Amino acid sequence: MANGKRRISLKDLAQELGVSIATVSRALRSSPEIGQEMQERVKELACRLNYRPNPFAQSLRKEAPRVIGVVVPNLVTHYYAAVLDGIEEEAAKSGYSVISANTHEQTDAEVKAIDNFISLHVEGIIACLSQNTTDYSHFEEISQMDIPLVFFGRTCLSDKFSSVTANGDVAAQEATQHLIDTGSRRIAFIGGPNHLDMVRRRKHGYLEALRENRIPIDRDLVVCDRFDYDWALEATIRLLQSENRPDAILAFNDIITFAAFTAIKQLGLRIPEDVALIGFTDDVHARSVTPKLSAIEDQSSLMGQTACRLLLRNIGGDRNIYREIVPQKLLIRETSARQKKE
């Protein structure tokens, strides 16, 4: 009996009906070789079991490449583009092609991308959650269908899928400690949605540094909402215009980092003399601004390569769940390189 919880194949339909795979294939194509009654039975069963044709499997005789799907929240940013480059580089070594879907941080687009990949019968999927995703049922379905999937960056369902993440908690703690060592005491953390594990890890590292240095935690300085430039710009301006403004900011990602950088400049404050700044962002953009930005740099391409290796291992039959961590690097430049206050 075909199981509706996994991907339905021609073989499943054939076994259900007690006929050959060739008969099912011809019936679905309305071949005149197959009687009308059998065609209707096959098509009714295919509809009921949600069978979806596999265009890649159909074209194997034409030596079509094996394909994996990649779901990213924002392909415009350097981080996700670099991750995708790493995935493509690693996939090519094993003869795989990559198709990608950009969700623009929207859960409905993420669900649609996953559904499209299932329809295409990709051999596996690499995904990073949209910031809005709190319902993981579409990924639960992937697990039930036994389709290989690996998460990177933002993850969920850690008991079901392998993942590749950065050591954001360690990096955030190290960056906060640097700000403390150079005299900052009112350090703000500006981040994304609190339900994301990545946000919670980085915030934890920031808070740990404050606790270890016995600096009181001011909840007004911890601002977490969403990954959006305009929101981050306004949030930073509100912080800096408050009566007891922060003297340093730790920014969650490149979008928030450059929004904070712009806000500080718009208000006529000096970096780092008035407000120091460290952001989780890429090295190329960090070096292109004035003053040069102190940054926690992801090894984005390596993250992509690692995620792809785990997926290919999964496709090859390894059902173990792996947790890989790719270290981040703190690079101190002008936006935080000030002398310690006495």
The full set of domain ranges for the chain reads: 10-51, 60-166+300-327, 168-298
CA 228 to chain centre: 16
pLDDT of 225 higher than 60: yes
Amino acid found at 115:
D
* 60-166+300-327 and 168-298: identical CATH topology: yes
* Mean per-residue pLDDT, 76-85: 90
What is the pLDDT confidence band of residue 259, given thresholds at 50, 70 and 90? very high
C-alpha angle 24-29-33 in degrees, rounded to nearest 5: 75
pLDDT of 3 higher than 60: no
Q: Which two tokens stand for residue 199?
A: 């946000």
Describe the strand order of the beta sheet including 222-224 as a list of residue ranges. 222-224, 187-191, 248-251, 276-280, 294-297, 329-331
The Cα–Cα gap between 125 and 116 comes to 11
C-alpha angle 230-232-233 in degrees, rounded to nearest 5: 65
| Contact assessment for residue 286 and residue 293, using Cβ atoms and an 8 Å cutoff | yes
pLDDT at 321: 96
List helix spans (H) across 215-342: 229-240, 254-266, 283-286, 300-315
Long-range contacts of 311-317 (CB under 8 A, 24+ apart): 311/68, 311/124, 311/125, 311/126, 311/148, 311/149, 311/150, 311/162, 312/90, 312/91, 312/94, 312/96, 312/124, 314/124, 314/148, 314/149, 314/150, 314/162, 315/68, 315/123, 315/124, 315/148
* Mean per-residue pLDDT, 106-112: 95
Instruction: Work out the number of other CB atoms within 10 angstroms of the CB of residue 121.
Output: 17
Q: What pTM was estimated for this model as a whole? A: 0.78
Each residue's pLDDT tens digit, 56-74: 444 443 455 589 999 999 9
* Mean per-residue pLDDT, 42-61: 68
* Mean per-residue pLDDT, 80-99: 95
* Mean per-residue pLDDT, 244-273: 96
* Mean per-residue pLDDT, 303-322: 95
pLDDT at 269: 97
Q: Phi and psi dihedrals of 114, rounded to 5?
A: -60, -45
Please check whether the domain covering 168-298 is classified as CATH 3.40.50.2300: yes
Q: Which residue has the higher pLDDT, 41 or 338?
A: 41
Q: Which residue has the higher pLDDT, 318 or 15?
A: 318
Write down how long the chain is: 342
Tell me the residue ranges of DSSP E strands in 128-265: 149-152, 162-166, 187-191, 222-224, 248-251
pLDDT of 303 higher than 60: yes
The Cα–Cα gap between 279 and 254 comes to 7
Q: What topology does CATH give the domain 60-166+300-327?
A: Rossmann fold (3.40.50)
Each residue's pLDDT tens digit, 144-176: 778 899 999 999 999 999 999 999 999 999 999
Q: Write the CA distances from 255 to 86, 151, 240, integer angstroms.
A: 21, 21, 18
